[in-house]
Amino acid sequence: MKVLICGKGGSGKSTISTLIAKALQKNGFNVMLIDADESNLGLHRLMGAESPIILMDSLGGKKSFKQSLNNNFSRENNSFFKEKITFNEVTGETVSQANDIKLVAIGKIHESGEGCACPMGVLSKMILSRLVMGDKDVVIIDSSAGVEHFGRGVDTECDLILGVVDPSFDSFLLAEKISKMADNARIDNFFILNKVDDRVEDLMNANIDQAKIVAKIPQYDSLFKENLEGKELKTSVSEIEPVCELIKTKKNLL
């Protein structure tokens, strides 16, 4: 199963992606976490992993990747360019690992004026379209902020979309848009309310379709501090378990 995590910038997508990945691994799944956010720099730290070599960089950068597209992906010894890729074939210097979870980073913006991130969206979609999933395999995609991944068609390669909603009006508006776009694409979609406390819970509930709320994550001080210090997330968050149960249920329905 391929699960896309999306939401507003600062809503906690990377934190939620990491928590889900760790929880699924503890539930006996083979987990791969794909960093598809060209701006985020710290996902590997939250995982407790070494930073992998950026996939786009390993291909020579965006210019070289575009040339590879024109050459029908004729690049030797790179599993990502096979017509079909199994979970176990995703190996090499572009894959980091921690706690038996694989981490792949698609691409990053490195310099001013280097151009848009569209090729990274193409690469993300290409990899997801070629991944062959086993019964115990789950891929979690930590997407860029907003809805650009919908425009790139990355969502069409996913089985489930989980929107992360923080206590802000912009997040409520974006959640409504995500839901409409996912429904139009006929992709199952649900929401995780993040940074929830007694002051905001009622308002968050009022602005998000109750039938689509799968989990509510409180504002943990320890989780906040781990994020602030760039450390591995080790805080136990039992509230993430309903997400694992949802994924288990959806996998059985596919």
What percentage of residues in the chain have a pLDDT greater than 90?
59
pLDDT digits (tens, 9 = 90+) for 63-120: 777 777 666 554 444 556 667 888 888 888 899 999 899 999 998 877 776 667 777 7
Q: What is the mean pLDDT of residues 170-178?
A: 95
**DSSP states along the chain:** -EEEEEESTTS-HHHHHHHHHHHHHHTT-EEEEEEE-SS---HHHHHT-PPPPPHHHHTTHHHHHHHHHHTTT--TT-GGGSSSEEGGG--STT-EEETTEEEEE-----STTS--SHHHHHHHHHHHHHEEP-TTEEEEEEEPSTTHHHHHTGGGG-SEEEEEE-SSHHHHHHHHHHHHHHHHTT-EEEEEEEEE-TTTHHHHHHHS-GGGEEEEEE--HHHHHHHHTT-------GGGHHHHHHHHHHHHH-
pLDDT of residue 217: 97
| Average pLDDT for the chain | 88
Q: What is the mean pLDDT of residues 189-213?
A: 96
Instruction: Catalogue all structural domains in the chain, each as residue range(s) with its CATH number.
Output: 2-253 (3.40.50.300)
pLDDT of residue 66: 72
